[in-house]
Chain A
Amino acid sequence: MNVFTGYLRQAGTAARFLLLATIVLGLLYPVAIFGVGQLVAPFQANGSVVKDSAGEPAASALFAQVSADDAGTQDPAWFHARPSAVGWDPASSSASNLGPNDAKLLDAVAANRSAVAAAEGVSEAAVPADAVTASGSGLDPHISPDYAALQVARVAAAHGLSTDVVQGLVDKRTSSGLEAFLGQPSVNVTLLNLDVAAAGNNH
């Protein structure tokens, strides 16, 4: 009896404790961080959304934004992002989760390699690893400078721009300094394509 009532009393305390902790940790804390975030860093707190020249939200700088057909083939007019296991859909996120020796992964890599080589008109050996492998999130907007360089001629031709101008836009969107050193030099394709669109309009 003593043990039983002891458990019951503890359970009552536990339930009340959990409710009170939830009010502080599950409501007040996140709402306070929300408030501070809106004050000190509203751009980041709201998803790093960049606007177009008309002031309308065009993209999040942190997400791949890909124009692709139903088969997943990316629009040749724009810089291409890395392969994605979730079709670049921000409503989901995933890696392929295929093992390092998985036959399905080998097939996917081979298929991606020939598709990229054909799209860019280069030899298969010239295609870098990031162009043929799916990112961990499926949403990574970044590619290597090597993969961007492969795409410059195609995108420049589609927009009637010189390759020098387009390569200049690539360089502007390539990470540098400490960020590139600690991570690796990366080109943000989402922002780059917005720049290309703007340059194409001005042209």
Chain B
Amino acid sequence: MVFSTAAFITQIVVLLLALLLLHKPLGIYMERVFAGSTHSRLERVFYRLAGVDVGTEQSWSVYLRSVLVFSAVSILAIFALQRLQGLLPGSNGLPGVDPWIAMNTAISFVTNTNWQTYVPEATVGTFVQMCLLAVQNFLSAAVGIVVAVALIRGIVRTKTDRLGNFWVDVTRASFRLLLPIAAVGAIALVMGGVVQNFWSTEVANQATGVTQVIPGGPVASQEAIKVLGTNGGGYFNANSAHPFENPSVFTSLFQVFLILLIPSALPYTYGRMVGDRRQGFTVAGVMAALWLASTALMGWAVASGQGAASAAAGGLGEGFEQRLGPAASSIFAASTTLTSTGAVNVAHDSLPPLAGGIAMVNMMLGEVAPGGTGSGLYGMLVLAIIAVFIAGLMVGRTPEFLGKKIGPREMKLAALYILVTPTLVLVLAGITALLPDVMANAPAAGPHQFSELLYAFTSGANNNGSAFGGITSSGPYLSVMLGIAMLLGRFLTIVLVLALAGSMARQRRIPASAGTVPTHGGLFGSLLLSVTVIMTALSYFPALALGPLAEGLIK
């Protein structure tokens, strides 16, 4: 296969134009979704049935408690119902899911990770896919968005402990934002060839004598929210490489568009909410610069066709779909790891070594370019606070961020946030690398074995969900360890973000002075970009050197 530079650049230009066109209207729409205090008639019914008290706003700790309790209840319900699959309708004849796999999967979908330790075709029927997993595709994405919104409220509000009502926010994120876009996206995907029915079809070719059972299922409806909510869990094992999830290069490009749509519009929402659109433009600019640079590097690394297998085959091919081609697959691979999506349309394990390494680095950046729905923005805002702190040290002033003092408490929370995922990845991968029995689950030889392991924990702790598929993670040890990585990677960071929001909301606004470092414009943008890249490099370089860098340099 030949990497077409013209196709690569064309698709990037089309994507950027589409996102540029939509980020403002969608950004404004999202601001309105979370701003008003009027509820539609249907929402009122919904709140009454659910027992939600819409009149009260919550303090950060109650908001957090709602996030945690909602997620815990979801995990328990999904675990239990997977175990009971054999007794329920829509099991497609499949038995209850293995307890380790059910536990890992429940955590995985509630944390917006969608790491799939199971083979969907052989493990989960229509009920589990449609009523459990796809529902979490909506709700976990909504949780990420509302946490970002709560953080912005914390920045904007003064002398209050109220951050909003979690239940109202999640309802609006799900039904006013995600559902309508997913519905339009799903219908577009059906028209593009994605299957949406509830039966399989037997086909018999009279000439060749071949018979096949063509699977069916509510795939398009799940596919749309899989990408829109930066979830990434495939209806089929091959994910977006599967012909029924991603029938053509057009649907592939459309999926990348849906992946980037909400994360790239949220900075505009942020700019409007803080009353200074330049703030949003600066964040969006940093995200766009990182996305563009990383995607270009990915294209270069794939086009290089490095690796012994590509050399032996006479070009790219292993793990690629012929109909999609290497250009579309490079853009997909970059975007899925720069967000918390983790859907794949090419087997990442077989990518040229440095391309696989770039996928890892993208996740290690903290998935902030533009990141997961909500999580990308709050990750970037925490990095902005770190950048302000560093700038404050340089000029010898107490750092402030949009009129809020960044004192010891705020700084501790931000610093802890930055430490959570690297600690999880490096400690858990480090311990696991010492266990030969577990390492046997990654049968690759040499540095690639460590790459598979490092990729797994990077993906889990950053709630990405893509994998170097050569590793088998369905056993108890890896199910539990990756479950821990996903849980803490998601909720420890949310605890810190909401605590930060609460602590900023309590403050008075201090007027900007001559010593205030402006948090917009090219200078601050460059600082933010540098902080993001340097943090990642400092944390992960040694681990990367043992894995993908070693692989890329050996040959």
Contacts and interface: CB of A to CB of B under 8 A. Distances in A.
Interface of A: 6-7, 10-18, 20-22, 24-27, 29-30, 32-34, 36-38, 40-41, 44-49, 52, 54, 56-60, 62-63, 65-67, 75, 77-78, 82, 90-103, 105-106, 109-110, 113, 127-130, 132-144, 175, 179, 181-184, 186, 193-194, 197, 200-201
Contacts of A20: 46, 49-50
Contact of B316 (A60, A62, A129): A129
B31 interface: no
Contacts of B321: 135-137, 140, 142
B215 A90 contact: yes
Nearest to A159: B207
Given A47-B215, A135-B319, A182-B11, 16 more contacts: A11-B72, A25-B134, A33-B187, A33-B190, A46-B195, A49-B201, A49-B214, A56-B204, A67-B210, A93-B236, A135-B322, A137-B238, A139-B242, A182-B328, A183-B323, A197-B205
A184 to B, nearest CB: 4
Most chain A beta-carbon contacts within 10 A, residue among B62, B70, B205: B205
Contact of B121 (A6, A77, A93, A175): A93
A36 B187 contact: yes
Interface residues of B, number: 124
Interface string B1-23: 11010110011000000000000
A115 to B, nearest CB: 14
Given A58-B204, A135-B322, A137-B243, A48 B193 contact: yes
Nearest to B137: A25
Nearest to A124: B314
17 contacts: A15-B77, A17-B52, A26-B130, A32-B183, A46-B197, A58-B206, A98-B349, A99-B349, A100-B310, A136-B319, A136-B320, A140-B321, A142-B323, A182-B7, A182-B11, A182-B249, A182-B253
Interface stretch (B94-102, B272-280, B443-451): B443-451
A193 to B, nearest CB: 7
B328 to A, nearest CB: 6
Contact of A57 (B10, B201, B314): B201
Contacts of B132: 22, 26
Contacts of A38: 197
A40 B211 CA distance: 28
B366 interface: no
B198 A34 contact: yes
Contact of A106 (B46, B131, B309): B309
Interface string B198-242: 100111111111101111101011100000000000001110011
Most chain A beta-carbon contacts within 10 A, residue among B46, B131, B195: B195
Top-10 shortest CB links A-B: A100-B307, A133-B317, A136-B241, A197-B207, A95-B347, A183-B249, A97-B469, A129-B315, A137-B238, A93-B238
B422 to A, nearest CB: 24
A49 B131 contact: no
Contacts of B207: 52, 193-194, 197, 200-201
B378 interface: no
A25 B554 contact: no
Contacts of B214: 47, 49, 60, 63, 90
Interface string B417-454: 00000000000000000000000000011101001100
A102 B51 CA distance: 56
B139 A21 contact: yes
B347 A82 contact: no
A133 to B, nearest CB: 3
A132 B313 CA distance: 6
Contact of A109 (B10, B202, B309): B309
Contacts of A25: 134-135, 138-139, 174, 179
Contacts of B554: 101
B313 A22 contact: no
A100 B167 contact: no
B155 interface: no
B139 to A, nearest CB: 6
A91 B215 contact: yes
A21 B322 contact: no
Interface in B97-152: 119, 121-122, 130-132, 134-135, 138-139
A18 B171 CA distance: 11
Interface stretch (B350-358, B490-498, B518-526): B350-358
A97 B468 contact: yes
B191 interface: yes
Nearest to A102: B444
B143 to A, nearest CB: 12
Contacts of A135: 241, 319-322
B41 interface: no
A45 B197 contact: yes
Given A99-B451, A140-B323, A183-B328, A14 B182 contact: no
Given A52-B206, A65-B212, A101-B448, A95 B179 contact: no
Contact of B190 (A37, A105, A197): A37
Contacts of A133: 309, 313, 316-320
Contact of B203 (A14, A49, A100, A142): A49
Contact of B243 (A41, A63, A66, A109): A63
A87 to B, nearest CB: 12
Interface in B462-490: 468-470
A97 B241 CA distance: 13
Contact of A95 (B131, B350, B551): B350
